[in-house]
């Protein structure tokens, strides 16, 4: 078995290939980037479908932009005695075969080769391909062996290692020794094999490398010291040295962040050039009456500041596009309400969109209660709205009788016809796609102002640069009298004590949440998880005198609502739920949040859940339950939760723990594009440079029409994040 080496590739001289590359990636020709992946050697129809399904890769470009997530150093050769069998990293060593053995029969058959290098011994094991491997292993010969060490009955062993005779290994040109490791999915690896992905990347490179067109103008490359795209793609996959790899990474990060910046800045320029924002010049009757007579408590300074910022935005003549960040419980709802009243005072309608049914209903209840006695009509529209509710909302909105509409995504999906929509508030926008949806409104001839609210904080500079074309307001102050939630992490062994604690809290009149993880792939499992938990609670924690409600994703909306209502009103003391209650739910009397299998939640989700308590004046608690055995990363997350209540710090830490790749794909960031290599928190410097570079280019050539900007034009399109918007819905 030969180790995989793209030998003919590594000798291909990038400089020699360069003259063949197209100067302009468009020029009416199909770009290399869009070549169908199925034509790459070793792919074909079936694997092409699989690559698309598993990783979303359909073209050669998308494949070559799928970068290794780490590299291993294959120049290092260990001595057997040095190998840590409990370590998780791959190792390479030399060993002479001292004997072979067969064991088992049929499907359980296995073949072993024993090797030694004078410092120690190892067993190499194969369960598959035995016929093939046994012919290639010769007792007495020395091999170079590469694989993942493990220990079996206290002996070092490697399952399915790559092996190659030492002569052959030495005859190969010694290169940097760095080999990329790609992330894959289980299905994909089972079809392609361990090295299969690498092979396909090699073949794709062969097919495309003479045609790779540069995306960045020469001047920009010189100025920022960027290697060519050709060299960068080559070295990111097949690093010739660690320095070449570093330069490739810098170039590709730059390109990626530049693609994002071009979009952000262009959108902003368009918005500011239009000067077609609605004007809210009056602070009138409704706002003032509410402020003087209905406000349940004085606003915090931070809330006042944000209301002022919104007022300023709405008198400029430009359309407002503002992101309001405020930690959980900081009082964003009230700010939203005041902004909506501004719209009403100026003769406009406003709507407020929430990510879940529960949250929409809660907002509706809050708004109706707060506005009682004022001449403002509020309606609600969700996917679960019955015919009557729907008809009255749609009718009232079209005629203008209803000024405020609260709802879920149904607000967009139903193509609600407003009489004169002046402001859109989007609450808890940390779910993918909402920002894109907001943009749909901005395509209106005269777009409403948009206020996006989130408790999932991302660092301010990052928000400004990445979130799209948004100004940022921050509520950095909690209402007075709040006590920080005390957070502890317990394992199952402490369960009885936890129950005891809950009992005490309930006896003092408090309420308790117990949350189980939602298993996204399987609602059935999710439900089972919750159901078992609920049964365990009823068994171990018999509280016949108290009422427990259950809420999960599979319930009918009315049942969910009824259960929530009983918990809110205090009729029920315990709420057992999946993370459907993650966002926004406001029950100030609840003081304990128990999170089961806490290790299965992301950091921002944990923080959101914790935000459900600590909303009143009582001391509140968050109890993170987990098993004994935790990965390093899970432990770091739980420790961070116990250490701090500061959502911004947690968000930063989260980005670091998870890295860019995950950040991009995550449903929590709300970003409209994929980042494959840059990590905006760690690559702040590059981010700033790309902002400058994008600004300069756009100042000189706002539409990127110049021939030398053809590559940038494509780059901009690639990172526009608009692929998934259905434009037919905008009219």
Per CB under 6 A, residues contacting ligand ADP are: 297, 299-300, 303, 326, 328-334, 455, 479, 586, 588, 615
Nearest CA-CA partner of 510 in 618, 368, 615: 618
Q: Which residues contact 663 (CB under 8 A, 6 or more apart)?
A: 655, 669, 671, 675, 679, 680
Angle at 471 between CA 467 and CA 474, to 5 degrees: 95
Q: In whole angstroms, what is the distance from residue 395 CA to residue 511 CA?
A: 40
Q: Which residues of 437-463 are buried (b: 16+ CB within 10 A; e: fewer)?
A: bbbbbbeeeebbbbbbbbbbbbbeebb
CB of 427 to Mg ion, least distance (A): 6
CB closer to ligand ADP, 271 vs 615:
615
Q: In whole angstroms, what is the distance from residue 731 CA to residue 727 CA?
A: 8
Q: How many residues lie near Mg ion (CB under 5 A)?
A: 1
CB of 646 to Mg ion, least distance (A): 18
- Which one of ligand ADP, Mg ion, none is in contact with 479 (Cβ closer than 5 to 8 A by kind)? ligand ADP
CB closer to Mg ion, 192 vs 426:
426
> Mind giving me the DSSP string for 648-713?
HHHHHHHHHHHHHHHHHH-TTT--SS--SS--TTTTHHHHHHHHHHHHHHHHH-TT--SGGGHHHH
CB closer to Mg ion, 196 vs 584:
584
CB of 285 to ligand ADP, least distance (A): 23
CB closer to ligand ADP, 332 vs 658:
332
Q: In whole angstroms, what is the distance from residue 429 CA to residue 325 CA?
A: 10
Q: Which residues contact 145 (CB under 8 A, 6 or more apart)?
A: 92, 93, 94, 95, 115, 122, 124, 158, 161, 162, 163
CB of 584 to Mg ion, least distance (A): 4
Q: Does 331 engage in binding with Mg ion (CB under 5 A)? A: no
CB closer to ligand ADP, 97 vs 581:
581
Cβ(314)–Cβ(357) below 8 Å? no
CB of 163 to ligand ADP, least distance (A): 58
Q: Does 459 engage in binding with Mg ion (CB under 5 A)? A: no
Q: Does 329 engage in binding with Mg ion (CB under 5 A)? A: no
- Which one of Mg ion, ligand ADP, none is in contact with 92 (Cβ closer than 5 to 8 A by kind)? none
CB of 232 to Mg ion, least distance (A): 43
CB of 402 to ligand ADP, least distance (A): 22
- Which one of ligand ADP, Mg ion, none is in contact with 303 (Cβ closer than 5 to 8 A by kind)? ligand ADP
> Quick one: how many helices (H) and strands (E) in the chain?
27, 22
Torsion sign across C-alpha atoms 4, 7, 9, 15: positive
Q: Of residues 559-618, which lie at the interface with Mg ion (CB under 5 A)?
A: 584
CB of 586 to Mg ion, least distance (A): 7
CB closer to ligand ADP, 298 vs 542:
298
Cβ(166)–Cβ(142) below 8 Å? yes
What residue number has its CB nearest to ligand ADP?
A: 331
- Which one of Mg ion, ligand ADP, none is in contact with 69 (Cβ closer than 5 to 8 A by kind)? none
Q: Which residues of 409-431 are buried (b: 16+ CB within 10 A; e: fewer)?
A: bbbbebebebeebbbbbbbbbbb
Q: In whole angstroms, what is the distance from residue 637 CA to residue 643 CA?
A: 10
Q: In whole angstroms, what is the distance from residue 115 CA to residue 76 CA?
A: 19
| Interface mask toward Mg ion for 229-268; x: CB under 5 A | ----------------------------------------
CB of 26 to ligand ADP, least distance (A): 47
What residue number has its CB nearest to Mg ion?
A: 584
Kind and range of the H or E element at 242? helix 242-274
Q: How much of the chain is helix, strand and coil, in % rounded to 5?
A: 45, 15, 35
CB of 353 to ligand ADP, least distance (A): 14
CB closer to Mg ion, 448 vs 584:
584
- Which one of Mg ion, ligand ADP, none is in contact with 203 (Cβ closer than 5 to 8 A by kind)? none
- Which one of Mg ion, ligand ADP, none is in contact with 277 (Cβ closer than 5 to 8 A by kind)? none
- Which one of ligand ADP, Mg ion, none is in contact with 326 (Cβ closer than 5 to 8 A by kind)? ligand ADP
DSSP state of 637: H
Binding residues (CB under 5 A) for Mg ion: these are 584
């Amino acid at each position: 078995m030969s180790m995989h080496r793209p030998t003919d590739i590594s000798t291909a001289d990038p400089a020699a290939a360069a003259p063949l590359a197209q100067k302009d990636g468009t020029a009416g020709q199909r770009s290399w980037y869009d070549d169908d992946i199925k034509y790459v050697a070793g792919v074909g129809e079936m694997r092409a479908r699989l690559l698309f399904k598993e990783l979303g890769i359909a073209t050669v470009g998308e494949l070559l932009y799928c970068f290794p997530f780490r590299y291993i150093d294959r120049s290092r050769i260990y001595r057997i005695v040095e190998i840590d069998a409990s370590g998780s990293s791959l190792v390479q060593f030399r060993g002479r075969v001292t004997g072979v053995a067969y064991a088992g029969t049929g499907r359980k058959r296995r073949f072993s080769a024993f090797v030694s290098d004078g410092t120690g011994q190892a067993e190499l094991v194969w369960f598959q391909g035995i016929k093939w491997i046994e012919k290639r292993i010769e007792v007495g010969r020395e091999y170079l062996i590469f694989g993942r060490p493990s220990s079996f009955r206290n002996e070092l062993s490697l399952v399915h290692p790559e092996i190659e005779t030492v002569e052959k290994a030495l005859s190969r040109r010694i290169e940097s020794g760095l080999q990329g490791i790609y992330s894959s999915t289980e299905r994909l690896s089972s079809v392609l094999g361990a090295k299969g992905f690498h092979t396909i990347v090699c073949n794709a490179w062969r097919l495309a490398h003479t045609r790779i067109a540069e995306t960045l103008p020469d001047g920009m490359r010189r100025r920022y010291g960027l290697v060519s795209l050709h060299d960068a793609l080559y070295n990111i996959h097949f690093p010739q040295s660690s320095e070449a790899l570093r330069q490739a990474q810098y170039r590709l990060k730059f390109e990626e962040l530049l693609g994002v910046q071009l979009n952000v800045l262009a959108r902003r320029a368009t918005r500011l050039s239009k000067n077609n924002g609605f004007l809210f010049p009056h602070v009138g009757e409704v706002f003032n009456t509410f402020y003087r007579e209905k406000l349940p408590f004085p606003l915090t300074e931070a809330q006042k500041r944000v209301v002022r910022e919104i007022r300023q935005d709405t008198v400029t003549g430009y359309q407002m596009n503002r992101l309001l960040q405020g930690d959980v419980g900081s009082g964003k709802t009230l700010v939203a309400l005041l902004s909506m009243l501004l719209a009403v005072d100026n003769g406009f309608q406003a709507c407020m969109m929430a990510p879940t049914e529960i949250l929409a209903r809660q907002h509706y209840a809050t708004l109706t209660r707060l506005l009682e006695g004022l001449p403002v009509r509020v309606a609600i529209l969700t996917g679960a709205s019955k015919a009557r509710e729907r008809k009255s909302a749609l009718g009232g909105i079209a005629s203008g009788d209803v000024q405020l509409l609260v709802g879920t995504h149904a607000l967009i999906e139903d193509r609600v016809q407003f009489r004169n929509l002046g402001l859109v508030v989007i609450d808890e926008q940390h779910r993918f796609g909402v920002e894109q949806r907001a943009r749909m409104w901005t395509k209106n001839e005269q777009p409403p102002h948009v206020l996006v609210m989130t408790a999932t904080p991302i660092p301010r500079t990052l928000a400004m640069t990445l979130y799209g074309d948004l100004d940022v307001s921050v509520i950095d102050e909690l209402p007075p009298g709040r006590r920080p939630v005390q957070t502890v992490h317990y394992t199952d062994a402490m369960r009885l004590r936890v129950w005891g604690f809950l009992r005490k809290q309930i006896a003092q009149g408090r309420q308790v949440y117990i949350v189980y993880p939602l298993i996204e792939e399987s609602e059935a499992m999710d439900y089972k998880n919750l159901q078992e938990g609920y049964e365990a609670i009823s068994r171990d924690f018999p509280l016949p005198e108290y009422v427990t409600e259950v809420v999960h994703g599979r319930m009918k909306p009315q049942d969910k609502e009824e259960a929530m209502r009983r918990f809110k009103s205090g009729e029920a003391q315990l709420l057992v739920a999946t993370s459907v209650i993650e966002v926004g739910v406001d029950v100030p009397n609840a003081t304990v949040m128990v999170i089961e299998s806490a290790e299965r939640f992301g950091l921002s989700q944990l923080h959101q859940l914790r935000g459900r308590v600590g909303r009143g004046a009582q001391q509140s608690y968050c109890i993170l339950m987990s098993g004994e055995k935790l990965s390093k990363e899970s432990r770091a997350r739980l420790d961070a939760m116990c250490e701090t209540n500061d959502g911004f710090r947690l968000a930063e830490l989260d980005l670091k723990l998870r890295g860019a790749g995950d950040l991009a794909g995550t449903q929590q960031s709300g970003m409209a594009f994929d980042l494959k290599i840059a990590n905006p928190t760690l690559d702040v410097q590059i981010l700033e440079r790309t902002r400058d570079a994008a600004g300069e280019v756009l100042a000189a050539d706002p539409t990127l029409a110049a021939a030398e900007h053809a590559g940038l034009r494509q780059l901009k399109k690639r990172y526009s994040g608009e692929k998934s918007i259905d434009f037919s819905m905008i009219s």
